[in-house]
Structure 1
């Protein structure tokens, strides 16, 4: 069964507006479009229930119920209990708060492993713990391929390791790392495995309880929702962390790792992600017996098949450009490489390439995308110009890719 792109795009208001529909959108890794199911819930909350939630009066009760639906939607997507989730303003902020919650557990000389492939959100917050005596060690990419080798991690992990912090999918290289192998290696020495799923979550559904991860973070504004960061923690781990919210909220699951009040309307609108996925499921499949996590997995399988075919068309077009250098694997694969493609062209500034594509109403960007350490390791020292990044998701049509391939060919 193939993904019905026409049905998918019909769910997005942006594609029915002549001013915005002209763009072939390939900057989805920076933030995805939002379907009407999410837009409608956000609009409804602001219009009718924009009050302090969880109070005794009718509007406040309704506001709280809408927020709980948002928590349940994210829990259902991961296959976990809603009490295991913290919904903060962004993944970067959630990582910072998490690092502060873990800090009291660390003793001077305890080691933290980070990569130089990650977004800075999953590096900088851990580097700061060196101020308190932690030793931060770097799992480094191959400077030619951008890949992380499991064998290199083996040489870093030891009895002093307390945290292994890594990305499930690089926002530059596009590689889907073997998270189960990393988790096994961390657990073998009693360390926690902390995964950044921001660039993974738009493409695949994670079974959180089978993943081996102890903590997992991703962003809903890159998974077709509002601007929220989702942080999941295994109950046994959450119970050990120092609460970061107000002292009188330390026993409230959604508040103990949230220093600020939750974003009411944005959280309520997350229930629209479930409604959107369910609309796609009902359109493509007949079996209604599955739970939401299983339904999501089947829908995202369709996404992955479509994205992989189109990504390989784009990769082939880039390989045909003289002087082009693709970061990471040269072929996309459902379980190996996401449809996030970074490249440079010898003799051309990345900004000039982007300008020429944008002139054709093809939305792309250049820069370091908050993965400056990765670019430096790859030998790209002009961070402002950086790499050209093309990132597609399931709503990108064949026609979008046709236009992009033509534009690349003209380079």
Structure 2
């Protein structure tokens, strides 16, 4: 753990960061890549001169690192953008001409608004938006509820890998197989999954997968994977002379942020180093997967401790699954406190230098569906592998005092 925490300068502060689903802390290595680019390669790509060639090399290195990150077939399947929200909007705009009036897109109200709103806006072009019902008893998306919605006009199903409120991992490979068997494509919001487990777009056979690097230990940028043949079919959003075959540049108007794309190399190298320190002798993608296996083991301890504590209270109620059977949950845990507004809990925790959050986290439709949109939403504690049990115990020691004080008020 000493090595891990030493890679994140912000962790030297007295704060315990438990708001990682909103954005993780940034690796020193990622900062170093940014500085190195801006110091030694800060020119436009496409020139014949040496520095421009070095800039282009850095961007391609970033794409190759992102290729490893998601297990894509080729680096050209990687599109960089400012955020997941912006990239889903990019995808929706680039796909628009593929839809005819009456064609259908299926979304889920359990998703973050990023993977709902851009598709909803296609209604004005005659696209029919259907909603995959969320089963509030099992707190799951069920394929038996999706099946009756799909027909010959269904072109796309949009789904989250993990809800940023519920923390439960959806079986994306199973969903993708189900969707493809019915002739549609799938777009996955992987934001809440990507910091915690290895992404495998090839193994899962997903068509599009989007996530934010700033929630995966890098700076504020995001990555979209798309199958190469599908990216080739998309309309370009850049200049008219960027033809359909200019992949992925036609989807990166103004070009991506070079230095932030380059920082992806540091994130991948760090996770590989975690795999190496966990005893793996592998290289490349296999070593990267070993790093995430080590991450999952650390996070399982944190998740189980927090859930155990919450289950032992009669004044706290976990939103979603209150257990972590098979470690099929990420360490994002939302809960409510009886008779206490969620904002009061989070603000009181500020005094203990513990950063947690309250609200609906841009998953407002889910909060409304669950009836959790009142009294300032829910309390959310979102951890990652650099958090420690000592930090968690510090929070848990402070909570009873806060709950008693606020309920009395």
Task: Provide TM-score, normalisation by structure 1.
Answer: 0.93
Q: CA deviation at 1:6?
A: 1.7
- Rounded to whole Å, the distance in 1 between the matches of 2:22 and 2:287 is 26
Partner of residue 50 from structure 1, selected from 26, 42, 46: 42
Higher mean displacement: 220-229 or 276-285: 276-285
Query: Is the Cα contact below 8 Å between 2:231 and 2:247 reproduced in 1?
Result: no
Q: Which residue of 2 aligns with 1:93?
A: 86
Deviation at 1:355, TM superposition (A): 1.2
RMSD: 1.6
2:270 to 272, 276, 281: 276
C-alpha distance in 1 between matches for 2:138 and 2:346: 23
Q: CA deviation at 1:242?
A: 1.4
Paired residues in the alignment total 400
Report how far residue 38 of structure 1 moved. Answer: 0.8
Q: 1: distance between equivalents of 2:225 and 2:325?
A: 27
Write the distance in 1 (CA, Å) between the matches of 2:248 and 2:219. Answer: 18
Of residues 143-152 and 313-322 in structure 1, the stretch that sits farther from structure 2 once superposed is: 143-152
The 1:121–1:85 alpha-carbon spacing in structure 2 relative to 1, beyond 3 Å, is: same
C-alpha separation between the residues in 1 aligned to 2:396 and 2:316? 14
Asked whether 1:408 is paired with 2:402, we answer no
Is the CA contact 2:300–2:327 (under 8 Å) kept in the aligned structure 1?
no
Per-residue CA deviation, residues 369-405 of structure 1 (Å, 9 max, x unaligned), is 110000000102338x111111001101121111122
Q: Does the Cα contact within 8 Å between 2:275 and 2:294 map onto a contact in 1?
A: no
What 5-or-longer segments of structure 2 have no aligned partner? 404-409
After the TM superposition, list the runs of 4 or more consecutive aligned residues in structure 1 that deviate by more than 3 angstroms.
Answer: 143-146
2:298 corresponds to 1:306 = yes
Distance 2:197 2:240 in 1: 37
Pick one of 353, 369, 373 that aligns with 2:361.
369
1:323-357 alpha-carbon deviations (Å, 9 max, x no partner): 32211111124552111111111211000010121
Secondary structure, counterpart of 1:239 in structure 2: helix
- When normalised by structure 2's length, the TM-score is 0.94
Give me the whole-angstrom Cα distance separating, in 2, the residues matched to 1:382 and 1:76. Answer: 42
Instruction: Give the alignment partner of residue 397 of structure 1, picking from 381, 388, 393.
Output: 388
The 5 Å alignment of 1:191-210 reads: 191-210=184-203
Query: Are positions 1:13 and 2:4 aligned together?
Result: no
Q: Which has the higher contact order (CA 8 A, sep 6+)?
A: 1
Query: What's the counterpart of residue 232 of structure 2?
Result: 239
Secondary structure of the 1:249 match is: coil
| 2:58 aligned partner | 66
Going from structure 1 to structure 2, the CA distance change for 1:144 and 1:379 (only over 3 Å counts) comes to: farther
Counterpart Cα distance in 1 of 2:399 and 2:348: 9
The answer for the alignment partner of 2:407 in structure 1 is: none
Using a 3 Å threshold, how does the CA distance of structure 1 residues 317 and 268 change in structure 2: closer, same or farther? Answer: same
Gapped regions of structure 1 (runs ≥ 5)? none
Whether 2:27 is the aligned partner of 1:31: answer no
Give the corresponding residue for 2:309.
317
Q: Distance in 2 between the 1:380 and 1:374 partners?
A: 8
